[in-house]
Amino acid sequence: MITREQLENYPLPTDEEINSALDTAAELVKKNTDEFFDCFPKANSENNFYGKSYNTDWTEGFWTGEVWLAYERCGDERLKEAALCQVESFLNRIEKHINVDHHDMGFLYTPSCVAAYMLTGSEKGKKAALMAADNLMMRFQEKGQFFQAWGAMDDRDNYRLIIDCLMNMPLLFWASEVTGDSRYSDKAKAHIKTAMDYVVREDNSTYHTYFFDPDTGASVRGVTNQGNRDGSAWARGQAWGIYGSALAYEKTGNEAYIDIFRRVTDYFIEHLPEDLVPYWDFDFDTGSSEPRDSSAGVIAVCGMLEMAKRLPENEARYYTAAAKRILKAVMDMCAVESAQQSNGLLLHGTYARKTPTNSCHNGGVDECNTWGDYFYMEALTRLTKNWELYW
């Protein structure tokens, strides 16, 4: 845990450091498109190098998002070609319904296809993203008012939402904007309300997942999948809560979400170790030999920078400075500096760490992961220009 004084003693990054880190990241992405032009890196690296994936996981949208961010940075036409080629793959995936029976349509289609539509007017990107939004709509459970994360819709053992899904909601707000049909945003608002009502605990930590009764929709219990234990705060889940509440406020204007943002963000900041790079779960603190999750750090940074746009000046200044300090810590400890070191951008992420008290499969521990790479670039981009968000 750190005090406010410890946080404020940590140095801020200079503009030069931020710009240089973003240039390095964009150059690495450019180089990595040689390997991943019409295919994608797997969700996480092995020994810091990603193998190839062919658009079947929940994570491929992050790579295309990185390519778009690199394109925004340096305007290289080959990056645009690569991203648009990947958009074809996303359209094919949703048209053929390949591994899309889950809720992660936003993670897949927002940084890839919504971004393509925003940046180039791509009609294929628009079509694919709208089909993905329609697909996500099929996962709304009326009893309980939430989007079911995983599994078949009639599977009683899967009757739950997960905190990560807050990041899938912007796709639905976008679909309403583009089509003029408010059914998408109505469902998104209902899901966000349910999630916020149940995942945030009294001490401002968060549950990863929350079960409901399939017969009545009544709340049942919070359970972890990727956190250390049911009652702990999984660092990335807490970070999804930070960015998710900032976006929830941006999309709905509901002021209750500002308060949720403050609660989950303050918990995150206070529970950071002294060097500001989060361990994968807040059960672990300064001096622990457990792995870090750099991706949780950069997701939280993006959420704080987003919310700072809508906070009173004092608070905006505080969260912006905290975000910059966390980003500097992550840059200094985790940024990839050369293609020899890794074909990712950010070291020391943790996808899923198996413990006796959680239910995930072990994988991607102390490795790069594509969402860590993507949100690292997004965080740097946010600090270099008035970035129009894809979410």
How far from 47 is each of 174, 319, 367, 374, CA to CA, in Å? 37, 34, 7, 19
Strand order in the sheet with 209-212: 160-162, 209-212, 219-223
164 flagged as catalytic: yes
Comparing CB distances to ligand GLY, the nearer of 141 and 226 is: 226
Comparing CB distances to ligand GLY, the nearer of 164 and 283 is 164
Contact between 236 and ligand GLY (CB under 6 A)?
yes
Which entry of 15, 34, 104, 154 is annotated as an active-site residue?
Answer: 104
CB 260 within 8 A of CB 196: yes
Which residue has the CB atom at the shortest distance from ligand GLY? 164
CB of 60 to ligand GLY, least distance (A): 13
> Is 208 among the residues that bind ligand GLY (CB under 6 A)?
no
Burial group, residue 81, by CB count within 10 angstroms (0-12, 13-18, 19+)? middle
The residues in 15-54 that bind ligand GLY, with binding defined as CB under 6 A, are none
The answer to the question of residue 164 lying near ligand GLY (CB under 6 A) is: yes
**Which secondary-structure segment (H or E) carries 4?**
helix 4-9
Q: 10 Å Cβ neighbour count for 165?
A: 28
Nearer to ligand GLY, 176 or 245 (CB): 245
Q: From CA 122, how far away is CA 81, in angstroms rounded?
A: 12
Are 390 and 68 spatial neighbours (Cβ–Cβ below 8 Å)? yes
Minimum distance of ligand GLY from residue 236's CB (angstroms) = 5
Please report, as residue ranges, which positions from 264 to 293 form the binding site for ligand GLY (by CB under 6 A): none
| Residues that contact ligand GLY, how many (by CB under 6 A) | 4
Mention every residue, 6+ apart, whose C-beta is less than 8 A from residue 311.
258, 319
Residue among 117 and 147 whose Cβ is closer to ligand GLY: 147
The yes-or-no answer on residue 230 being catalytic is no
Q: Catalytic: which of 76, 101, 157, 164?
A: 164
Which of residues 124 and 229 has its CB atom nearest to ligand GLY in the complex?
Answer: 229
Shortest distance, CB of residue 153 to ligand GLY, whole angstroms? 19
Name the strand (E) or helix (H) holding 180: none
The CB-of-370 to ligand GLY minimum distance in angstroms stands at: 11
Q: Which is nearer to ligand GLY, 31 or 361 (CB)?
A: 361
Site string for ligand GLY, 346-385 (x = CB under 6 A): -----x----------------------------------
Distance CA 319, CA 19 (A): 20
Q: How far apart are CA 294 and CA 98, in angstroms?
A: 30
The minimum distance between CB 163 and ligand GLY, in angstroms, equals 9
Residues 293-352 that bind ligand GLY (CB under 6 A): 351
Q: Which two tokens stand for residue 12?
A: 């801020």
Per the DSSP assignment, residues forming a β-bridge with 40 are 53
Can you tell me the distance from the alpha carbon of 116 to that of 132, in angstroms, rounded to the nearest whole number?
14
Q: Cβ of residue 208: shortest distance to ligand GLY, in angstroms?
A: 9
- Structure-block tokens of residue 345: 């951008």
Place of tokens 């198996």: 354
Give catalytic residue positions.
104, 164
Contact residues for ligand GLY, defined by CB under 6 A: 164, 226, 236, 351
